[in-house]
Amino acid sequence: MREATNFWGFFVLVRVFTAISARIVAHQLEPCTAIRIRNLKLGGGIKFAPAKVSLVYMIKVLESSMSQKPAVVAKANPKENYVIDANFFINLNNMRDFSLHISKFGELAQKIGAQLHISEQVFQELKFLSGPNVDRFKRWVIISVVRDPEVTGVKNLLAKKGIKMPAQDNDLSLVALATRLQEKGLKTYLVSDDFKLAENVRVLKSPVEVLALGAFVLKFQNAAQDPQERRYFKTVRKEVLNYTISYALQRADVYPAQKKIMWMLERSISVAEEGGMGFSVNAWEVKDDTSMQQFTFCDKYIMNRKMSSEELQTISDFTPFLDEIILSRREIDRAKSLLGRDDYKGALKALGNAANHLFGNLQLSLATLAPEKSKFFERIACAELARSEFLYAILLINMEKINLALRRLDQGALYSAMAGNAQSTLMLNYLKAMILVFHNKYKEAINQYGLTADLARRYKNHNFELKSMVGQGIALFFTDQQETAADVLSLVTSQIQADGVNLGEAQVMLSELGDYFYALGRPDIASRLFSQSLQCATDANLDNRVPVLIEKLKRSSLTASFKGFSGSNFAAFIDKIYEVKNEEKYNEAIAQLALFNAQLYHDFPYLTPKGSWVPYLQLPEILRVTWEVVEIRHLVGEKTLIIAYHEAHGLIGFQVPLKVEISGVPENYSVELSRKARVRLSPPSEDIRAKYLIRAIATTETPDGITLSRVVPRFFQEVKV
């Protein structure tokens, strides 16, 4: 009987191997699949001895490999390629049910003629993949081998362009793969939120286009035909943005300070530009089939998608005006290019030209089109004007022309409302309120928060309403209107603590508010909001969110303490928002803060020999990480002390022989030692240690011993005009 079973098993294996071999010869399997089979035949960790391997397991592995047909990965004639960074898949995994998410993206990619790619090097970074998820991943994503010479070739090209510290080799394997695919004649996108990687591609002047993660998901959202499917991708996009921004705030996802505005603009509008006309047809008052169809066709025309003669005929009255919108977008692209060369005046002029072009176009459309059609086109034009005004405001903010920027935000919000884009209308109004708080214009901020809350109620956006009410309460508190502030906050409390309320949503809302205030230089406010968010997370049993909140609390409370914010009354005020019920569990979480604080009083584990300068490569790993800046102090002479935080090591000071100037608040920056650095690490004096809570001072021999970079505040990424 055993001999018969073994014979039958051997027969099945022969049949399976024969089928696979035939398909490999016929080039019907992807290279990654062929490699997998070859490894299997050579051993590859799988033994063929019957005593050591289950026959059923062997057949399942082989059948899994056979199931990876290129026809499943994408259409036979794909239209475009997407080479995707690891962070995107990590985000999908964080959302639970990875198998569902990867299948959704894979299935839609197949429908629209797109192929999803990843390099073997980056695939190996996805440590969370195991079991069936590996097979499901390989079913939809093409894994390609990128050899070392290809990566070296990219590095050599970057070196010729003056880039001495390019992205990591694994990341550059994506650039090499994208370049290879682009050379085959298909439009290829590199999907990543890594600034250094995006900057490397830009320097190479590659035809490969870099897409932010949110922009990539929005492309799929726009391509989905089924309303339920569109809602799914919209939800995923929101989650992806949240994870990306949370990571940036924790790990200082940074970019060179001299390129800060360029990167901010790219991040701010990447999603908006991919969204065609920039507003949802669902927001329209008129939702008849004809209007919805016209909207879709106009969107395709602006995005230069292939259209039938019937579709073009349907919107023939609008095409002259749509052509003008396309021209105005070229002016916006020119503005971005000028910003890349730090030409602010040129960028302002280009944005002004775009706005003037749109104004004239709108007036001509109103004078030309029939009333019903002119009303339709008005929304399209207003969406474009909102985008232009928002970009103008961002540029003015970075030039510290605040009053002009606030005026532009008002105009952008108005155009967003006229375009039917409720989310952008709310976010632009909220952004204005935050900027007013940052500049201590509390009275104006109170009115602005009130307007935003009123708008949120009318738009039925409960989350934004609560955010605005909390913001208004805080502004009232700082204008000595404590009673009124308490009344506003009590309304928030009653809504959060009401029976059946979603504590998870309240936790996210409070954490986001903390992020905003921290980015605007108010760590005292941020730390209290993070504490309230932690209490909500505790009672909602959201254990996976606790570590992130603890890290935010560490950073914000440390920064607030040495900056001298007086927070006792304010803490009591904010603590009224939510009162934790599971005190024991909450105290366990807070105990982690106590352990961290105790570490601050221990000596730093590494100091250099007195009087000696140590090269960067000889420094321990503890000093070769990225630190988050919390304060910058100018010293006597051309010297600066940069006080910085790391979640594992607390605070240290970086002293450089240079007067460091920044734009905005220190909390929006990070610092790290450069590879050129020669460093002397010494203990701080008792006075300095007591004043700044730093454990050591790292003095650099030359001004180029540090790299100072900036983090993009979250609200700039949330505005989708």
567-608 pLDDT, tens digit each: 556 777 787 788 888 888 887 787 777 666 666 667 788 888
Does residue 446 carry a pLDDT above 90? yes
β partners of residue 643: 631, 653
Does residue 492 carry a pLDDT above 70? yes
- The share of the chain scoring above pLDDT 70, in percent, equals 76
Specify the pLDDT at position 250: 40
pLDDT-derived band of residue 564, with 50, 70 and 90 as boundaries? Answer: low
pTM tops 0.75, yes or no: no
Collapsed DSSP state (helix, strand, coil) of residue 147: coil
For the chain, domain boundaries:
80-251, 277-420, 614-716
pLDDT-derived band of residue 52, with 50, 70 and 90 as boundaries? Answer: very low
Q: With respect to CATH, is domain 614-716 assigned 2.40.50?
A: yes
Mean pLDDT throughout 526-553?
A: 87
Specify the pLDDT at position 67: 36
pLDDT-derived band of residue 454, with 50, 70 and 90 as boundaries? Answer: very high
Cα 85 from Cα 126, distance rounded (Å):
10
Please state, as a whole number, how many other Cβ atoms lie within 10 Å of the Cβ of residue 340: 16
Rounded to 10 degrees, what is the CA torsion of 153, 198, 230, 318?
-110
Please name the CATH architecture into which domain 80-251 falls: 3-Layer(aba) Sandwich (3.40)
- Structure-model confidence comparison of residues 277 and 297, the more confident one: 297
Buried b / exposed e over 183-211, threshold 16 CB at 10 Å, is eeeeebbbbbbbbbbbbbbeebebebbbb
Q: How many CA atoms lie within 13 A of 581 on its CB side?
A: 7
User: 3-state DSSP helix/strand/coil percent for the chain, to nearest 5?
Assistant: 65, 10, 25
pLDDT-derived band of residue 480, with 50, 70 and 90 as boundaries? Answer: confident
Q: Which residues contact 185 (CB under 8 A, 6 or more apart)?
A: none
Specify the pLDDT at position 193: 75
* Range from 71-75, 258-262, 410-414, 554-558 carrying the lowest mean pLDDT: 258-262
CA angle in degrees (0–180, nearest 5) for 54-55-60: 100
Specify the pLDDT at position 427: 86
Specify the pLDDT at position 218: 79
pLDDT-derived band of residue 486, with 50, 70 and 90 as boundaries? Answer: confident
β 141-144/114-119 pair status: parallel
Mean pLDDT throughout 32-51?
A: 32
Mean pLDDT throughout 647-666?
A: 81
- Structure-model confidence comparison of residues 347 and 264, the more confident one: 347
Cα 416 from Cα 505, distance rounded (Å):
26
Rounded to 10 degrees, what is the CA torsion of 552, 558, 561, 564?
-90
CA-based torsion, 527, 528, 531, 533: positive or negative: negative
Does residue 58 carry a pLDDT above 80? no
